[in-house]
Amino acid sequence: MLRRMTAVLACATLLAGCTGSPSSSPSADTSPSASASASVTPSRAATPAVVPRAPREKACYRLTATQLTQPTNASTPVPCSSRHTAQTIYVGTLDTVVDGHSVAVDSATVQKQLSTTCPRKLAAYVGGSATARDLSRFNVVWYSPTLEQSDQGADWFRCDLIAFSAQDQLAALPGTARLKGVLGSAAALDEFGLCGTSAPGARGFQRVICGRSHSWRAVDTIGLPGGARYPGTATVRKAGDSDCKDLAQARSGNALKYRYGWEWPTREQWDRGQRFGYCWVPD
């Protein structure tokens, strides 16, 4: 899942009150009857800093792929009835105190909170099984305040739902009402599932959302054994091939004529937590 992680509204500038103390000059009259006096302008209390307002849940945005890896975002929300590529599905409060000490908004502790919370919120929001979510093109990104906003008291973060239409290209999302629990319907993957322009590994292969023109589809995920250490390409390549072959054969209804593609995870994907591969068939 992508990271990433945020600020939406403009931060307010701290306005410090000014204290004036101009004194009138002593009278030039040096006679004993002359007296000097001073007038002092009363001090004004400093204007308290305005804490940047938290983003609104269910707000929609027109994000671009280049904005997904940035930790903050100041995009202006757009009407959800208009074209948009992201929707805020959760706004939470940052935990910036560890063992009684404050930590920065960009610290590893805070970023871990975001990277664990937002994927859970995505799963709860779109619904469906874990396999359906893995087969979908839905993903989640997160944003937190800038360091300056955090210093002013901003302690929020937002989780945004997105969907990839193709590589480095975001899909236009449907309205809010359709997104909530969307993967609870088996037909949802016909529109939001993972498909390909050709067989995986073939020349010109590109992942696309199934609502676009395609010729292959990822129909299942196959879990792989192993711990934190990557088992190696040869191992993961062989591990799911037989299961994928059996699945493709059963779907085709023809024991002698069927095609399939087994796509195993790379070392980088494994290190990010993907312990499964995709089984592909022509569609």
For 183-212, letters b (16+ CB in 10 Å) and e give: beeeebbebbbbbbbebbeeeebebbbbbe
Give pLDDT, residue 9. Answer: 28
- In this predicted structure, the answer to whether residue 149 has a pLDDT above a threshold of 50 is yes
Rounded distance between C-alpha atoms, residue 189 and residue 195, angstroms: 9
| pLDDT confidence of residue 47 | 52
Burial class (CB in 10 A: 0-12, 13-18, 19+), 1: middle
CB 159 within 8 A of CB 122: yes
Dist. CA 254–CA 264, nearest whole Å: 25
DSSP string for residues in 56-125: PTT-EE---GGGTT-S---PPPB-TTS--SEEEEEEEE---EETTEE--TTSHHHHHHHHHHHHHHHHHH
Average pLDDT over residues 115-136: 97
How far apart CA 185 and CA 132 sit, in angstroms, is: 10
Mean pLDDT of 201-211: 95
Residue 78 in tokens:
């757009």
* Other CB atoms within 10 Å distance of the CB of residue 31: 6
Average pLDDT over residues 194-207: 95
CB 158, CB 88: distance < 8 Å: yes
Task: Determine the pLDDT at residue 49.
Answer: 62
Interval 235-252: pLDDT, tens: 999 999 999 999 999 999
Say what the pLDDT of residue 33 is: 33
Tokens of 281: 């068939």
Query: Cα 142 from chain centroid?
Result: 3
The CA-based dihedral angle spanning residues 241, 247, 253, 258, taken in that order and rounded to the nearest 10 degrees: -30
CB atoms within 10 A of CB 129: 11
How far is residue 15 CA from its own chain's centroid? 33
| pTM of the complete model | 0.80
The number of beta carbons lying within 10 Å of the beta carbon of residue 36 is 10
Mean pLDDT within 198-221? 96
**Mean of the per-residue pLDDT values of the chain:** 85
